């Protein structure tokens, strides 16, 4: 009975939003986007859109989102927001990171991306503009995917830290004690597959249009590049998300190696007490700051 009532409430809320939205004026940005989308459908096959479109979305989004953090290292003013100020980025580390990234992107992730078209065919995922979900539906679906991926990431990430297997796989990702944005997907190929599997679980649950695949890719990259950025910016809109972990939370994981295993949210670490060292570290920093003020 409770499940049925909950479903009824969610359906009612969705219909209410749809009803209100029907009275709102069309977004002036919608028509150009619609024209571009229909142009794409008219000039490219669904295989090309699902495969090469997904690759372009991933590559362009990844490196554009990495760009601010890359530029920050050349701006003295931004150094006050760098978390580990005594460990600046080096050209050697960044070049090494880029080479591994390109290998993972084109030899590990591209073969997976090539399966996108067959996934959409098997599950009859639409491509048309008319069946594209509204922005708030996409946002809710991406949030659901983030919750699922976060749970998968916490338990598998914690397993990869087990002393018997850590040095064989996850140690690669921890080569950088002070992370930077481009390092988000710097990992052993097996880790890319193991932790990356959590990304696809939400897709199986929520996917109802090919645009959702791209929206979820962008959201996930935005989060993982942010937490690996090495910078704690004061005006970060991601901090408005309840229980969002953020850069300081994950930066401590790279610095300490133990604890803070979740990717996006803080609740799994709080439930299992794997954030205890981080809490103690913050408390110690607060006490030292208070002493300086006194």
pLDDT in tens, 86-105: 998 899 999 999 999 999 99
Taking phi first (over 0 means left), then psi (-120 to 50 degrees means alpha), and beta for anything else, what does residue 202 get? alpha
Which residues are registered as beta bridge partners of 82? 231
Q: Looking at the predicted structure, is the pLDDT value of residue 284 above 60? A: yes
Minimum mean pLDDT among 141-145, 254-258, 282-286: which range?
282-286
The closest alpha carbon to 151, from 95, 112, 197, 96, belongs to 197
Q: What is the pLDDT of residue 51?
A: 97
Mean pLDDT of 253-272: 96
pLDDT at residue 4 is higher than 70? no
**pLDDT above 90 for 195:** yes
Of the two residues 263 and 27, the one the predictor is more confident about is 263
pLDDT at 7: 41
Determine the Cα–Cα distance for residues 116 and 118; give it in Å rounded to an integer: 6
Reported as a pLDDT band with limits 50, 70 and 90, residue 10 is very low
Residue 259's pLDDT is 96
Average pLDDT over residues 172-199: 95
């Amino acid at each position: 009975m409770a499940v049925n009532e909950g479903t009824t409430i969610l359906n009612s809320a969705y219909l209410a939003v749809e009803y209100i939205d029907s009275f709102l004026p069309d977004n002036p940005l919608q028509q150009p986007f619609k024209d571009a989308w229909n142009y794409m459908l008219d000039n490219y096959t669904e295989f090309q859109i699902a495969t090469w479109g997904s690759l372009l979305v991933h590559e362009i989004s990844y490196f554009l989102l990495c760009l601010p953090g890359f530029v920050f290292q050349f701006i003295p003013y931004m150094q006050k927001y760098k978390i580990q100020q005594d460990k600046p980025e080096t050209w050697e580390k960044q070049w090494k990171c880029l080479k591994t990234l390109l290998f993972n992107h084109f030899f590990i992730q591209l073969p997976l991306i090539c399966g996108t078209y067959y996934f959409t065919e098997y599950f009859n995922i639409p491509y048309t503009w008319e069946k594209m979900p509204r922005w708030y539906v996409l946002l809710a679906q991406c949030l659901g995917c983030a919750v699922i991926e976060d749970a998968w990431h916490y338990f598998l990430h914690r397993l990869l830290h087990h002393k018997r297997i850590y040095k064989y796989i996850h140690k690669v990702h921890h080569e950088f004690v002070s992370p930077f944005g481009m390092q988000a997907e710097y990992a052993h190929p097996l880790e890319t597959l193991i932790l990356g599997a959590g990304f696809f679980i939400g897709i199986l649950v929520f996917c109802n249009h090919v645009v959702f695949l791209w929206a979820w890719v962008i959201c996930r990259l935005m989060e993982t590049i942010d937490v690996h950025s090495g910078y704690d910016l004061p005006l970060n809109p991601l901090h408005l998300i309840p229980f969002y972990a953020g850069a300081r939370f994950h930066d401590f994981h790279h610095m300490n190696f133990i604890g803070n295993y979740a990717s996006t949210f803080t609740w799994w670490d709080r439930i299992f007490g794997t954030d205890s060292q981080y809490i103690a570290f913050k408390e110690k920093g607060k006490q030292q700051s208070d002493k300086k003020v006194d």
